[in-house]
A and B are shown apart, each in its own frame.
Chain A
Amino acid sequence: MQPFTYATADDPRDATRLAAGDAGARYLAGGTTLVDLMKLHVEQPTQLIDINALPLADVTELSDGTMRVGAMVRNSDLAHNETIRARYPVLSQALLAGASGQLRNMATTGGNLLQRTRCFYFRDTAMPCNKREPGSGCSAIDGRNRGHAILGTSDACIATHPSDMAVALVALEARVRILGPNRERVIPLAELHRVPDDHPEIETTLEQGELITAVEIPPLPFAVRSLYLKVRDRASFAFALASAAVALDVQDGIIRDARIALGGVATKPWRSPEAEDALRGGSAGMESYRAAAEAALAGAKPRRDNGFKMELARRTLVRALTRLEAGGTGR
């Protein structure tokens, strides 16, 4: 770890003022990614701004039924929130599928959105990595890439976005409330993360000093029937090899609407409008689900070790939809 200054903020505006204009500043929330990467010298902030005291730890319902989740709401608390469990089971299940109990108790809603990839090469400063050191090359493309992405990749980066929570939230069309040094703005979560293209070092559309203050989940009545299915190498405490967040609005056997997002296979939380289109208007059943799975993976690009993810992701999505139809959960 390299030396850094440490400041605490108890007001969001103070926090953004501390960070304004300081490219070496990082907000410290749960610390479950940042501190880890600082120990590996991957993150070398010169200033840490501890935001744990910010009054952003509440889950509130707005007048239109939107659920506003403060950025500092811990993953455990959000997962067990009664309203979230009832209205958005996909989100609760995604949160509980992530990390371990100890980590979920620390990790926050805002921090989870910004967690960094688990790519081995990103995490090892001795190896070239375009994300960590722009222009140095991607070690993963011809390296060990069993866990890497097949969707949203580029020739510069194939690192997987590791979040489970964000996959559920992107399916729910969540919005992100962002406070900057000069303004406050709200953007769709789908516009927060970038695919790597030629600049994998730029992972989000956040500007220097901006702070996520809340995530807002609009009402989605049919999400009461939703689930998150995660496939991984062990029963718990493992990142997804493939996951699916699904919600279906089925009436009289016809799929009127669908929300589909994939995790573990893409460079960002991966909403699949192609799969949703394939489902919408079709009859609920295996044929539609398989068509959706084909559509979701149509643009995927496998590499040396991760070709299995093509079929695994398809089957994961089909299984998630089948289970949802049967009234099951992702757990």
Chain B
Amino acid sequence: MTTPHVDPVGGIVGTPINRVDGALKVTGRAMYSEFPLDNLAHGVMVQSTVAKGTIVQTDTSAASRVPGVITILTTDNAPKLESLQKYEHEQGAAAYGTGAGRPTGRTLSLLQNKHVHYNGQPIALVIAESFEAATQAAALVRVTYRQEKPAVDFDAALASAYPYPAKIFGHEPPATRRGDLEAGLAAAEVRIDRVYTTPLETHNPMEMHATIAAWDGDRVTLWDSTQNVYGVRGVIAKALSIAEDHVRVISHFIGGAFGGKGSPWSHVVLAVMAAREVGRPVKIALTRRQMFGPVGGRPHTVQQVTLGAKRDGTLTALRHDATASTSAMDEWLETCVLATRMLYECPNQATSHNIVRLNLGTPTYMRAPGEATGLFALESALDELAYELDMDPIALRLKNYADADPETGKPWSSKSLRECYSLGAKHFGWARRNPKPRSMEDGEQLVGWGMATATYPARRMPASAVACIYPDARVVIKAASHDLGTGTYTVLTQLAADAIGVSIDAIEVQLGDTNLPRNPLSAGSMTVGSTGSAVHLAATAAREQLVQLAVTDPESRLHGTKHDDVRIRNGCLTVVGHPERNESIQELLARHAGQPIEGQGESRPGDETQQYAMHSFGAVFAEVRVDRDLGTVRVSRIVGTYAAGRVLNPKTARSQMLGGITFGLGMALMEHTLTDHRNGRYLNADLAEYHIPVHADIPSIEVHFVDERDDHVNPIGAKGIGEIPMTGVAPAIANAVYHATGVRIRDLPITLDKLLQG
């Protein structure tokens, strides 16, 4: 089925309007998860100081004496959650797994038992009159353990890796084979066989996780910093065995999330439990240090890539085996090899995902999960192959260009990767590149140029929205999606404005509240495709009702007109070709008893998923400067070109690409969560030591979008841009570092010690 493309009647979609919530944010009026409530109590988590073992005793005597302490929940006295007790009783040892069926999804630390699975695990909760009192008391809780030897060293634990046992996202096989890999390798004239590694990373949004829970009788309201209000609602309802409609979750503004707030962590449920225990609203706001461990992050990966090719660059074999760390509680998978299956034409291929259990916090989705790490390995390996073949890296990629999805044979809903390569090469000046390593220098600096391909799937999930047009011509759009700081409020405003035919000033978008229509989590580059489509459909339905009213209302100047001949501009309905036959929305609705118009929109993936493979594509070009003696790497220039379908707002889109590319730069050169190899303690748990790029690290970044029309992917033709800018950047930089220095770093981040020793 081909879904209709948005008719850009009002011409607002596609224009670079400012953020509609910008003024609220810069004047401090945007309310994050900091809602002022009377009688608010503060919770502070006590965390384990061992990585594996059993709690023998929790001594709260000193902590309880701190003035202002209300109560301390421990594994001895915390309320038992029947849902979890029942689940664990039924599952027994099989409780370890992907979380399917568990009331909380992943394993949360809710004080239901005395097991410790990682260093920093929440093991008690102090509730006090103030954050300060709770913090002081938390430091005075004394816990003794029966310790066991933990597995915290990734390299040492690799021997215990095993194949990921479940389907990915419920349908993708964890391992694949196509063609005959061995024959392909035998037919190869050139072969590359390399191992790439990426470290633990931590999301570190500016806003730490925070939750307020307030009960009113048997109903509870949460103000939570989350990408997934309905997901939080579901977990709270299941964990506490209460009806979903007794739980309301609000998340109007989020100060960054990056995947880490996609589903609730322990503190969210603990806040709800604590609020019920003390009979008051309870707030738990994590500290920066608490962001390391209890709320997820990117796992370690080690990836082996084997490429076989003919002398002309034709790939004859491609093997990509990834092993990622997970926790001792859950089987969570970093899906490193999915992109490898679809990115290049290669008849003989094998891929696999393996996991290794460590006594560390459970990993989760982080900034292009799977693609960012997987493409570092694949795109580095291709660069190595290009050098083996003495071939231009773009030419090598074009030689193996996939004109259809190589895994399924499906046509692409749209693909403009060739255009991305050529446009990027042009803007970067790639043609002037001498491929020889160490061929460019600038004083003390060696200069290098590298490139890589970027891609991310264009997915969507069922979403719903309501568009209300009030008699005063004000339009309210309701959808329980979220704005993570990316511009969701803004692009939904644009979509609704164009669909109805009103100015953006007439529109108010309401997000982040389970009292609004159900929407999926805002993640995986799905928000525009999912919620955007639903809003477009809802607003279009509301417009149709307006038109229907007008053409059937004998008192209207548009009475008797055919639907298709009515146009709405700036809130005024007109008959095409008859400008005198017009009426404002106010005039029209004034005759209808002050009743608002309400349009419903439901969007869900349709047949297109069966017919097409759907991905965004891009190309990243990087220039680095590496100090010839000191090994310091600074990126001096990045050009990113992307084809992501329709760009709804070039300004917010560009901002998103700049942010994502900067994330990629951090991944390449800096980000690394350090844990102690003896006890799994998170060591660099602050923003002074956990490095992300600062302004001085961020170079000139040029972003270009290829004009691309996609009539298949979803009703609005936008493929999503949340994650793609993170992909391809790390390998482009690593490839540039090789070009500059002749040293190939296969272990992220690329730090000067590795170059000095390389």
Interface positions of A (Cβ within 8 A of B): 1-3, 39-41, 100, 118, 120-121, 124-127, 139, 142-144, 146, 231-239, 241, 308, 311-312, 315-316, 318-319
| Distance of A121 Cα from B682 Cα, bound (Å) | 10
Contacts of A120 in B (CB 8 A): 674, 683-684, 689
| Distance of A3 Cα from B681 Cα, bound (Å) | 27
Given known A-B contacts A2-B139, A118-B689, A124-B681, A235 and B630 have beta carbons under 8 A apart: no
Near A by CB (< 8 A), chain B positions 259-313 give 287, 289
Q: What's the tally of chain B residues with a CB closer than 8 Å to chain A? A: 36
| Distance of A3 Cα from B65 Cα, bound (Å) | 13
| Distance of A2 Cα from B136 Cα, bound (Å) | 6
Contacts of B689 in A (CB 8 A): 118, 120
Give which listed residue, A2, A41, A239, A312, contacts B753 with CB less than 8 A: A312
Query: Contact between B691 and A233 (Cβ–Cβ < 8 Å)?
Result: yes
Query: Contact between B136 and A234 (Cβ–Cβ < 8 Å)?
Result: no
Return the 9 tightest CB-CB contacts between A and B, nearest first. Answer: A235-B696, A308-B753, A126-B49, A120-B683, A236-B696, A315-B629, A235-B697, A237-B694, A236-B694
| Distance of A115 Cα from B395 Cα, bound (Å) | 54
Query: Contact between A235 and B136 (Cβ–Cβ < 8 Å)?
Result: no
Q: A1-B135, A142-B678 known; 12 other A-B pairs, CB under 8 Å?
A: A3-B136, A100-B694, A120-B674, A127-B676, A144-B676, A146-B753, A231-B752, A234-B669, A234-B693, A241-B753, A308-B752, A312-B753
Cβ contacts B116-156/A at 8 Å (1 or 0 each): 00010000000000001001100100000000000000000
Please report the number of residue pairs spanning A and B whose Cβ atoms sit closer than 8 angstroms.
82
Contacts of B670 in A (CB 8 A): 233-234
Contacts of A239 in B (CB 8 A): 688
Given known A-B contacts A235-B694, A308-B757, A319 and B629 have beta carbons under 8 A apart: yes
Is B459 on the interface with A (CB-CB < 8 A)? no
Near A by CB (< 8 A), chain B positions 667-690 give 669-670, 674, 676-678, 681, 683-684, 688-689
Is B695 on the interface with A (CB-CB < 8 A)? yes
Interface positions of B (Cβ within 8 A of A): 49, 119, 132, 135-136, 139, 287, 289, 444, 629-632, 634, 669-670, 674, 676-678, 681, 683-684, 688-689, 691, 693-697, 751-753, 756-757
Given known A-B contacts A2-B136, A118-B688, A308-B757, A233 and B752 have beta carbons under 8 A apart: yes
DSSP class of B's interface residues: helix, strand, loop or mixed? loop
Chain B nearest Cβ from A314, distance in angstroms: 10
| Distance of A3 Cα from B66 Cα, bound (Å) | 10
Chain B nearest Cβ from A168, distance in angstroms: 19
Contacts of A3 in B (CB 8 A): 136
Query: Contact between A234 and B694 (Cβ–Cβ < 8 Å)?
Result: yes
| Distance of A144 Cα from B689 Cα, bound (Å) | 13
| Distance of A3 Cα from B119 Cα, bound (Å) | 27
Given known A-B contacts A1-B135, A2-B136, A235-B696, A316 and B691 have beta carbons under 8 A apart: no
Query: Contact between B630 and A319 (Cβ–Cβ < 8 Å)?
Result: yes
Query: Contact between B752 and A237 (Cβ–Cβ < 8 Å)?
Result: no
| Distance of A40 Cα from B677 Cα, bound (Å) | 22
Contacts of B674 in A (CB 8 A): 120, 144
Considering the complex, give the chain B residue whose CB is closest to the CB of A232.
Answer: B632
Give which listed residue, A126, A235, A311, A318, contacts B634 with CB less than 8 A: A235
Chain B nearest Cβ from A155, distance in angstroms: 18
Considering the complex, give the chain B residue whose CB is closest to the CB of A310.
Answer: B756
Query: Contact between A1 and B632 (Cβ–Cβ < 8 Å)?
Result: no
Contacts of B697 in A (CB 8 A): 234-236
Give which listed residue, B444, B676, B681, B691, contacts A234 with CB less than 8 A: B691
Chain B nearest Cβ from A43, distance in angstroms: 13
Contacts of B683 in A (CB 8 A): 120-121, 124, 144
Contacts of B695 in A (CB 8 A): 236
Query: Contact between A127 and B753 (Cβ–Cβ < 8 Å)?
Result: no
Considering the complex, give the chain B residue whose CB is closest to the CB of A315.
Answer: B629
DSSP class of A's interface residues: helix, strand, loop or mixed? loop
| Distance of A142 Cα from B678 Cα, bound (Å) | 9
| Distance of A127 Cα from B753 Cα, bound (Å) | 26
| Distance of A238 Cα from B693 Cα, bound (Å) | 11
20 A-B residue pairs with Cβ-Cβ distance under 8 Å, sorted by A, are: A2-B136, A39-B287, A41-B139, A118-B688, A120-B683, A120-B684, A124-B681, A144-B677, A231-B630, A234-B694, A236-B694, A237-B688, A237-B694, A238-B691, A241-B753, A308-B756, A308-B757, A312-B753, A315-B630, A319-B630
Considering the complex, give the chain B residue whose CB is closest to the CB of A236.
Answer: B696
Give which listed residue, A125, A143, A233, contacts B751 with CB less than 8 A: A233
Given known A-B contacts A2-B136, A312-B753, A127 and B681 have beta carbons under 8 A apart: yes
| Distance of A316 Cα from B681 Cα, bound (Å) | 32
| Distance of A41 Cα from B49 Cα, bound (Å) | 15
| Distance of A139 Cα from B691 Cα, bound (Å) | 22
Query: Contact between A316 and B678 (Cβ–Cβ < 8 Å)?
Result: no
> Which of B132, B684, B688 has the most chain A CB atoms inside 10 A of its CB?
B688
Query: Contact between A241 and B629 (Cβ–Cβ < 8 Å)?
Result: no
Contacts of B135 in A (CB 8 A): 1
Contacts of B691 in A (CB 8 A): 233-234, 238
Query: Contact between A312 and B752 (Cβ–Cβ < 8 Å)?
Result: yes
Considering the complex, give the chain B residue whose CB is closest to the CB of A121.
Answer: B683
Give which listed residue, A40, A143, A146, contacts B676 with CB less than 8 A: A143
| Distance of A231 Cα from B634 Cα, bound (Å) | 12
Considering the complex, give the chain B residue whose CB is closest to the CB of A41.
Answer: B139
Query: Contact between B693 and A312 (Cβ–Cβ < 8 Å)?
Result: no
| Distance of A3 Cα from B137 Cα, bound (Å) | 11
Contacts of A231 in B (CB 8 A): 630, 632, 752
Chain A nearest Cβ from B358, distance in angstroms: 16
Chain B nearest Cβ from A35, distance in angstroms: 13
Considering the complex, give the chain A residue whose CB is closest to the CB of B692.
Answer: A234
Chain B nearest Cβ from A146, distance in angstroms: 7
Query: Contact between B696 and A241 (Cβ–Cβ < 8 Å)?
Result: no
Query: Contact between B139 and A316 (Cβ–Cβ < 8 Å)?
Result: no
Chain B nearest Cβ from A125, distance in angstroms: 8
Considering the complex, give the chain B residue whose CB is closest to the CB of A314.
Answer: B629
| Distance of A126 Cα from B630 Cα, bound (Å) | 35
Chain B nearest Cβ from A220, distance in angstroms: 27
Contacts of B684 in A (CB 8 A): 120
Contacts of A311 in B (CB 8 A): 756
| Distance of A41 Cα from B696 Cα, bound (Å) | 32
| Distance of A59 Cα from B135 Cα, bound (Å) | 40
Considering the complex, give the chain B residue whose CB is closest to the CB of A126.
Answer: B49
Chain A nearest Cβ from B135, distance in angstroms: 6
Contacts of B678 in A (CB 8 A): 142-143
| Distance of A23 Cα from B751 Cα, bound (Å) | 42
Contacts of A312 in B (CB 8 A): 630-631, 752-753, 756
| Distance of A1 Cα from B684 Cα, bound (Å) | 20
Considering the complex, give the chain A residue whose CB is closest to the CB of B140.
Answer: A2
| Distance of A24 Cα from B693 Cα, bound (Å) | 38
Query: Contact between B136 and A1 (Cβ–Cβ < 8 Å)?
Result: yes
Chain B nearest Cβ from A269, distance in angstroms: 20
| Distance of A241 Cα from B752 Cα, bound (Å) | 10
Chain B nearest Cβ from A326, distance in angstroms: 10
Considering the complex, give the chain A residue whose CB is closest to the CB of B754.
Answer: A308
| Distance of A31 Cα from B697 Cα, bound (Å) | 27
Given known A-B contacts A120-B674, A146-B753, A233-B752, A126 and B694 have beta carbons under 8 A apart: no
Considering the complex, give the chain A residue whose CB is closest to the CB of B757.
Answer: A308
| Distance of A308 Cα from B669 Cα, bound (Å) | 17
Considering the complex, give the chain B residue whose CB is closest to the CB of A120.
Answer: B683
Contacts of A319 in B (CB 8 A): 444, 629-630
| Distance of A76 Cα from B358 Cα, bound (Å) | 45
| Distance of A40 Cα from B290 Cα, bound (Å) | 12
Contacts of A121 in B (CB 8 A): 683
| Distance of A289 Cα from B544 Cα, bound (Å) | 81
Query: Contact between A318 and B629 (Cβ–Cβ < 8 Å)?
Result: yes
Contacts of B753 in A (CB 8 A): 146, 241, 308, 312
| Distance of A236 Cα from B691 Cα, bound (Å) | 10
Contacts of A1 in B (CB 8 A): 132, 135-136
| Distance of A189 Cα from B13 Cα, bound (Å) | 65
Contacts of B631 in A (CB 8 A): 312
Considering the complex, give the chain B residue whose CB is closest to the CB of A308.
Answer: B753
Chain A nearest Cβ from B211, distance in angstroms: 21
